[in-house]
Amino acid sequence: MSSSSSFFTSSLGRKFVMGITGIFLITFLIVHVGVNAMVFLDSSGELFNTAAHFMGTNWLIRSMEFVLFAGIILHIVQSVVLTRANKAARPEGYAVSGSNVNSKWYSRSMGLLGTLILMFLIIHLCHFWVEARFGIWGGIPEGTVAGTHDMFAQMKIIFSNPIIVAVYVLAMISLSYHLMHGFQSAFQSLGLNHYKYTPAIKAIGIWYSIIVPVLFALMPLYVHFVINK
């Protein structure tokens, strides 16, 4: 006999959506950091521009853009609904909290870390994505081939400002801690907890949450301190 309640509005269903969108966003980060890494391979920026051009024009990638935005929005909407429910579940807090003894601070601060990442994301999209698509603030400089974007040149402009570089680096610290909890937590929410695989998932999660944000953070630093010199 099936119960009448809907999966997607239940507590477990919402957590499932958080987990599955989280893992999807984790896979997106691999692609993104891969494209970024082209800058380290070729400091003339040609390789990076080729990769960026492919990402901006390939039909499959372009259609995934919609899925990506949908994933981000779902992840945010669910987190807001869940956080509100969590607050309602304990309106009156404790006078003394010993939570530092039984859990990690970043596992309890996912909402805060996520908000910081969202704020960064808006800034970051304005710098590159909005400019490439709509050119609101003057657009991206034109590439060597007419009609293409010189994303590398745009990067050099954006990252000439040390404050922006600092914002990017700080955002990557937030991302690192968000992933540190989120990576393994997503698997648990999907019910994927097994004595054979969970230790590996946790280890990969820790490495991932360090390596990927570090690679991301290195790019604005590299452009600001090496390429722009």
Partner 1 sequence: MSEGNMNLTLKVWRQKNQKQKGELVTYPVSNVSPDMSFLEMFDVLNEDLVEKGQEPIAFDHDCREGICGMCSMFINGRPHGPKEGITTCQLHMRSFKDGDTVVVEPWRATAFPVIKDLVVDRSAFDRIIAAGGFISVNTGNAQDANALPIAKEDADKSFEAAACIGCGACVATCKNASAMLFVSAKVSQLALLPQGQPERYSRVQNMVEQMDKEGFGNCTNTGACEVECPKGISLENIARMNRDYLVAKAAH
Residue 56 one-letter amino acid: G
Tell me if 82 contacts partner 1 by CB under 8 A.
Answer: yes
Among 2, 41, 66, 163, contact with partner 1 (rule: CB under 8 A): 2
Note whether 127 binds partner 1 by CB under 8 A: no
Applying CB under 8 A, does 190 fall inside the site for partner 1?
Answer: yes
The distance of closest approach from Cβ of residue 70 to partner 1 in the complex, given in angstroms and rounded to an integer, is 21
**Alpha carbon 137 to chain centroid, angstroms:** 24
| Footprint of partner 1 on 95-114 (CB under 8 A) | 95-99, 101-104, 107-108, 110
Q: Does 16 bind partner 1 (CB under 8 A)?
A: yes
| Burial of residue 63 (number of CB atoms within 10 Å: 0-12, 13-18, 19+) | exposed
| Cβ–Cβ < 8 Å for 106, 181 | yes
Four-residue CA torsion sign, 199, 111, 210, 32:
positive
CB of 202 vs partner 1, minimal distance in Å: 11
CA atoms of 53 and 45, how far apart (whole Å): 12
Binding flag, residue 204, partner 1 (CB under 8 A): no
3-state secondary structure of 149: strand
Contacting residues toward partner 1, per CB under 8 A: 1-3, 5, 7, 10-16, 82, 85-86, 88-99, 101-104, 107-108, 110, 181, 184-185, 188-193, 195
